[in-house]
Amino acid sequence: MEIIEAIKSRRSVREFTAEDVSDGEIAQILEAGRWAPSGLNNQAWRFIIVRDKDTKKALSGFTHYGKTILDSAVGIVVFLDRESMYDYTKDVQSIGACIQNMLLAIHSMGLGAVWLGEILKNREKVNQLLGAPESCELMAVIAAGKPVEKPRSSSRKELAELTFREKFGNKW
Amino acid sequence: MEIIEAIKSRRSVREFTAEDVSDGEIAQILEAGRWAPSGLNNQAWRFIIVRDKDTKKALSGFTHYGKTILDSAVGIVVFLDRESMYDYTKDVQSIGACIQNMLLAIHSMGLGAVWLGEILKNREKVNQLLGAPESCELMAVIAAGKPVEKPRSSSRKELAELTFREKFGNKW
């Protein structure tokens, strides 16, 4: 799938079929994630792959969007390893780049996913459940699987609302 | 260009030819950026496009990597609009996703770019130069242009160093 097409046609997918996602597919997704850029190439992202039903059930209790986790084939739990950190803002940006790579890969593979952030309110509980040390700060859960086919629309602000030429205020 | 190939073959480009980048190309790059996902779809990214030589010269004084900015055809200065913010960590992640979309678009268009973060040490000076209000927090400068052709290598940690199965410690 072409880059620009993939970027523009990707949608959050919250409804999944019962179909599984293979280890090979998960490795491809992670491969896209690990090739993200990071400051000083510090690669402070860490992943826990959750496929176990009981673990998914427990995770689902930590967010309003629990049904999505329950119905997904796999949860990719993304952490920032604070021991590899050099600058919080830049490292968090690189985690976002890593997540976006994975979302694009997922979409290009005919799979679907949603980026869950609301679960961060229960980051300590997630760490405890998964045995992750305090040095791993929960960044997101990506719930992925084979999407139920249905139309999904989204919208974005116009470029002119976001962009200036040379100086702030001088609209694009 | 295919997604996975683009993700894996993209490199930081710091040497540019004198060739220009058109407004149309810049719009394509920004188009990729604005289609990034963000929490509550708040789209807190803002862009100032710098092509003016004097502005690039002034910007270049704010970072050790000034030569790259000077030699680039365009600087895309990326801000977080704190007035549109809802959660710093999640918003900064989404800015990272937006930047990654732009880097992938740039690469797929046969252009090159580098994501500059070191300039954040002079964020107040950048804001002042570009007339950006305090509510716009500098996130990065992307210096882009037509790349000088040369081999560029990079490396990443192995998946097994980054990934666990079900629980922290249980290596992939």
pLDDT in tens, A11-49: 999 999 999 999 999 999 999 999 999 999 999 999 999
Cβ distance B97 to A97 less than 8 Å, yes or no, reads yes
Cβ distance A162 to B2 less than 8 Å, yes or no, reads no
- Kindly tell me the burial class for residue B163, based on how many C-beta atoms sit within 10 Å of its own C-beta (0-12, 13-18, 19 or more): buried
- Kindly tell me the burial class for residue B24, based on how many C-beta atoms sit within 10 Å of its own C-beta (0-12, 13-18, 19 or more): exposed
Q: What is the mean pLDDT of residues A53-81?
A: 98
pLDDT at B1: 78
Which of A155, A164, A170, A172 is the mutation pick for testing B, counting most B CBs within 10 A? A164
Nearest CA in chain A to B23: A172
Question: What is the SS3 assignment for A77?
Answer: strand
Single-letter residue type at B59: L
Which of B36, B49, B166 shows the shortest C-beta gap to A165? Answer: B49
* C-alpha span between B120 and A112 (Å, rounded): 35
pLDDT in tens, A115-151: 999 999 999 999 999 999 999 999 999 999 999 999 9
Q: How far is B165 from chain A (nearest CA, A)?
A: 5
pLDDT in tens, chain B (172 residues): 799 999 999 999 999 999 999 999 999 999 999 999 999 999 999 999 999 999 999 999 999 999 999 999 999 999 999 999 999 999 999 999 999 999 999 999 999 999 999 999 999 999 999 999 999 999 999 999 999 999 999 999 999 999 999 999 999 9
Q: Are A145 and B99 in contact, with CB atoms under 8 Å apart?
A: no
pLDDT at A17: 98
Q: Where are the domains of chain A?
A: 3-162
Q: Give the pLDDT band of residue A1 (cuts 50, 70, 90).
A: confident
Cβ distance A157 to B132 less than 8 Å, yes or no, reads no
Beta-bridge mates of residue B48: A164, B77
Q: What is the mean pLDDT of residues A78-82?
A: 98
B139 contacts on A by Cβ (under 8 Å):
89, 93
Q: Give the pLDDT band of residue A79 (cuts 50, 70, 90).
A: very high
pLDDT at A167: 98
CA A72 to each of CA A26, A55, A162: distance values in angstroms, whole numbers, following the listed order: 13, 12, 34
Q: How far is B114 from chain A (nearest CA, A)?
A: 10
Question: What is the SS3 assignment for A93?
Answer: helix
pLDDT at A116: 98
Cβ distance A93 to B90 less than 8 Å, yes or no, reads no
* C-alpha span between A89 and B131 (Å, rounded): 23
pTM of model > 0.95 = yes
pLDDT at B48: 98
Cβ distance B168 to A101 less than 8 Å, yes or no, reads no
Q: How many residues does chain B have?
A: 172
- Thinking of the domain A3-162, which architecture would CATH place it in? 3-Layer(aba) Sandwich (3.40)
* The two structure tokens encoding residue A122: 């229960």
Cβ distance A92 to B93 less than 8 Å, yes or no, reads yes
A104 contacts on B by Cβ (under 8 Å):
3, 7, 104
* C-alpha span between A99 and A118 (Å, rounded): 15
Looking at chain A, the whole-number percentage of residues with pLDDT higher than 70 is 100
Nearest CA in chain B to A55: B166
